[in-house]
Structure 1
Amino acid sequence: MKLSIGKTATGDNFFLRNDVVHEIYEALEEGNNLLLSAPRRVGKTSIIHFIKDNPAEEYYCVYVDTEDVSDSQTFFKVLLKAIFDVENKSRFLKSMANAGKKIKGFLEKIDNVDIGGVFSIDFNEKADDKQDYYEKFKEFLEKVDLDNRKILLMIDEFPVTIEHIRDEQGEQAAKNFLKQNRAIRQNPALAQKIKFIYTGSIGLLSVVKRLNATADVNDIQTYKLRPLSLKDGLQLAKTLLQNYQIEASDEILKHLLQDKIEWLIPFHIQLAIKEIRDLYRNEPSEIDEKFIEKAFNELILNGNIYLDHYRGRLNQVFNRNELDLVKEMMSKLADNQSVDELVLYDLAVKHQLENSFKNILLTLEYDGYIAEVADKKWRFYSPILKKWWSKNV
């Protein structure tokens, strides 16, 4: 396993969490559609790429990123094209063959866009104004025989899609889009053939709250992707160091994980290991607490290239007045171990944003900035982000 910073970890660079994969499949088997929920950089996209590349026999796994989609018709067209995609079918066939399992006639049912003469679709751009892709999507599911398998459709950046539709076509169009998706999920016949996993870099709940449309997603079960346990974090750190022929005791690595990083997400562990590797190459010495302290300080000093997206993300999410409030809140949090919610609320009142306060908190929490650590007390998720923020914002 090599360092994989700033990009989705796949293949040999993916740190497998068998418990997470098992729990996701367990929830699907219970009949649920899932929202894979976690702050940014915790590993949501890596998890669904692993499931895509290593599907269970009963699921035809399809991954699609809808970040650039800004209307309902294009959304359902993109989903259909992904289901029919040759690469998806080839990957599924190869995975099942490697597992020594028979496919029967499953892929023959999704072999082309003319299924048994009862369903056809034209993906030609000129046909866009002639076809209702939402209706075509439903028609496909109604007519296709999947040999008792299900399509597992994993949709990345779904909340961003909703925002794009709202911004370009208005709130009512975004609400209608949510209702279309809910209608498919709630159709008992279609539910026998397809399951959905949604994820994204912003929180679905905060997006639908702004539309006053939470009822249209309350049928989706939230699966919260946890940080790594100390055991798993230790294994990841040791595996990465071994790749660079660097030895460190379990005691020292636990000090790094528990006392310096604290929030054990793969992204932050990899950032720390990178600094240890770079420092060791320049100054080979025993990896002790002094060495760890120096490497951690280097991480904060050199972190802009990897952490500046946290600052940039705020500019995308909040308007100017909200951004002024958020920066003041974050500065307050950076100066203290934790801050009472009432103190943060007083800042919102000062900016005349008390009605938006709860949603701002929710957005910052989901996006991986701050967390509620006690009753109505907030702090930065990560000491890394807190220290970097203090020095760079």
Structure 2
Amino acid sequence: MGLRKAGGNWVDGDSFFDRDAEIEALLERVEDGTHTLLTAQRRMGKTSLVRELLRRLEGRGEFASVFVDLEDATTAADAVVEIAAASRRIRSAWSRTKHWITQSSDVAMDRIQELGVNEVRVKLRAGVDAGNWRARGDAVFTSLAESEKPVVLAIDELPILVNRLLKGHDYLMTPERRRDADLFLSWLRRNAQAHRGRIRMIVSGSVGLEPILEQAELSAHANIFAPFDLMPWDEEIAIRCLGELADSYGIQLPEDVRRKMCRQLRCCVPHHVQQFFDKLHEHLRRAGRLSASLDDVSRVYSEEMLGVRGQVYLEHYQRRLRLVLGDEGYGVALDLLTEAASSDGVLTNRSILRYRDYVSSLPDRPIVLLRDVLHVLEHDGYLTRKDDGYRFVSGLVEDWWRARHSHGFVPFDSRLQ
């Protein structure tokens, strides 16, 4: 069948393209018992990489695997429930979980197998609260460690949960919230260390964990994880991917067309490459043609990738910034990115200094530190350092930001008068 479009979901198996070197590196870490923090900018394919890794590990028969998504979790108790529910396929964990359910609900032991995943979550949640989540969580980790095979525990969106624990719905970091986050991370760290020989953890998320921990001065909790940076495709790999997609869908994309697509994006984020192909394919379908030209690339990029419908795919870049930084920090990030977009993609050191002076002059100046905002923007792949400041990593994100936010925070002189 050949390579197929990925859409907005994670992919594995025949739809998983390239990344063999990354898979091998992660397999080696798993075999060594290393806990890993997988980092990358948005849409790089972290979830797909982890899912494919777990699929291959299951195929080898040497490890059991558990994949947990914490995107909807808001408390430490929620996290314990999600880990317990996702561990249902591990016999030792499920045996202990069934007793947990019968103790906290009216479900008989012989009826538990009939419960769906969501029902299991509800029943588990009834038995965990702020007073016992650590004991319940310890029991879950112990049961995983008792599995016949070593367990690879992949936890997606852990940074999102930690950020919620620290800042709540109003994005204010209080001593109580910092204490709650510290307790949760200490618990996770303790279990990761206690069961290192039997459980390997892989932590990932759509935002960076390190900047969030640094804001709260909790960076020590990340020391148990060895960072693993997932990089963009290089141009040649992206060109090969576009070629295989074209072959699968019976269209012609000459090499110069594919190369222009990659250089238009500048940073070959896998999701963006596939999104560009999808929109070009639809453009050719509407035109009743099977071959694309350089003019088609330009038109699809400007009218589709940067058009109203295309912008929907990129709005998550703004949403994630607001989630991590809160309204106040997001306002600063918006200013910085808009200034860069309005200045040929470059945010100079001079502009940063003048913006800092401007913000300092405000009577209600933001509490958030400018360096923290820049750290998030750099770590999460919006900006990269240059000799004279920063510039956008992705040409697509830069062009989209310019189309969406046309005016920067300059001229400064008028603000400072």
TM bucket, shorter chain: 0.7 to 0.9
TM-score w.r.t. length of structure 1: 0.83
Q: What's the counterpart of residue 134 of structure 1?
A: 134
Q: What's the counterpart of residue 402 of structure 2?
A: 390
Q: What's the counterpart of residue 375 of structure 2?
A: 362
Pair 140,274 (structure 1): closer, same or farther in 2 beyond 3 Å: closer
The answer to whether the aligner puts 1:300 opposite 2:283 as a matched pair is: no
Pair 292,129 (structure 1): closer, same or farther in 2 beyond 3 Å: closer
Give CA deviations for 1:314-346 in whole Å, capped at 9, x if unaligned. 333334443332222112211224232342243
The answer to whether the aligner puts 1:112 opposite 2:95 as a matched pair is: yes
Question: 2:275 pairs with 271, 274, 278, which one?
Answer: 271
SS in 2 for 1:170: helix
SS in 2 for 1:218: helix
Question: 2:76 pairs with 63, 72, 75, which one?
Answer: 72
SS in 2 for 1:63: strand
Alpha-carbon distance, 1:11 to partner: 4.5
Do the aligned partners of 2:159 and 2:207 also contact (CA within 8 Å) in 1? yes
Do the aligned partners of 1:256 and 1:292 also contact (CA within 8 Å) in 2? yes
Q: Identity over aligned residues, as a percent?
A: 21
Do the aligned partners of 1:157 and 1:201 also contact (CA within 8 Å) in 2? yes
- How far apart, CA to CA, are the structure 1 residues paired with 2:134 and 2:203? 18
1:348-359 equivalences under 5 Å are 348-352=356-360, 356-359=369-372
SS in 1 for 2:71: coil
Q: What's the counterpart of residue 3 of structure 1?
A: 5
Name the amino acid aligned to 1:369.
Y
Q: What's the counterpart of residue 150 of structure 1?
A: 150
Q: What's the counterpart of residue 332 of structure 1?
A: 339
The answer to whether the aligner puts 1:282 opposite 2:286 as a matched pair is: yes
Give CA deviations for 1:194-220 in whole Å, capped at 9, x if unaligned. 011111111101111121110121221
- How far apart, CA to CA, are the structure 1 residues paired with 2:163 and 2:40? 19
The answer to whether the aligner puts 1:218 opposite 2:247 as a matched pair is: no
Pair 171,131 (structure 1): closer, same or farther in 2 beyond 3 Å: closer
Pair 6,346 (structure 1): closer, same or farther in 2 beyond 3 Å: farther
Q: What's the counterpart of residue 19 of structure 2?
A: 17
Alpha-carbon distance, 1:226 to partner: 0.8
Alpha-carbon distance, 1:146 to partner: 3.5
SS in 2 for 1:191: coil
Alpha-carbon distance, 1:311 to partner: 2.8
1:200-279 equivalences under 5 Å are 200-257=205-262, 259-279=263-283
SS in 2 for 1:113: helix
1:159-198 equivalences under 5 Å are 159-168=159-168, 170-187=177-194, 190-198=195-203
Pair 174,114 (structure 1): closer, same or farther in 2 beyond 3 Å: closer
- How far apart, CA to CA, are the structure 2 residues paired with 1:252 and 1:140? 52
Do the aligned partners of 2:10 and 2:48 also contact (CA within 8 Å) in 1? yes
Choose 124-133 or 351-360, whichever is displaced more. 124-133
Aligned-CA RMSD value: 2.6
- How far apart, CA to CA, are the structure 2 residues paired with 1:114 and 1:338? 53
1:336-347 equivalences under 5 Å are 336-347=344-355
Do the aligned partners of 2:329 and 2:368 also contact (CA within 8 Å) in 1? no
Do the aligned partners of 2:256 and 2:294 also contact (CA within 8 Å) in 1? no
SS in 1 for 2:223: coil
- How far apart, CA to CA, are the structure 1 residues paired with 2:323 and 2:140? 37
- How far apart, CA to CA, are the structure 2 residues paired with 1:212 and 1:183? 19
- How far apart, CA to CA, are the structure 1 residues paired with 2:318 and 2:79? 30
Name the amino acid aligned to 1:6.
G
Choose 196-205 or 358-367, whichever is displaced more. 358-367
- Tell me how many residue pairs correspond in the alignment: 363
- How far apart, CA to CA, are the structure 2 residues paired with 1:323 and 1:81? 34
Alpha-carbon distance, 1:128 to partner: 2.9
Higher helix share: 2
Alpha-carbon distance, 1:306 to partner: 1.3
Name the amino acid aligned to 1:309.
H
SS in 2 for 1:378: strand
TM-score w.r.t. length of structure 2: 0.79
- How far apart, CA to CA, are the structure 2 residues paired with 1:53 and 1:227? 22
- How far apart, CA to CA, are the structure 1 residues paired with 2:326 and 2:46? 27
Give CA deviations for 1:275-297 in whole Å, capped at 9, x if unaligned. 22122123327533223222222
- How far apart, CA to CA, are the structure 2 residues paired with 1:52 and 1:13? 15
Alpha-carbon distance, 1:37 to partner: 0.1
Structure 1 residue runs of 5 or longer lacking an equivalent are: 90-106
Choose 216-225 or 288-297, whichever is displaced more. 288-297
SS in 1 for 2:163: helix
- How far apart, CA to CA, are the structure 1 residues paired with 2:97 and 2:368? 52
Pair 350,322 (structure 1): closer, same or farther in 2 beyond 3 Å: farther
The answer to whether the aligner puts 1:45 opposite 2:47 as a matched pair is: yes
Alpha-carbon distance, 1:40 to partner: 0.9
The answer to whether the aligner puts 1:60 opposite 2:54 as a matched pair is: no
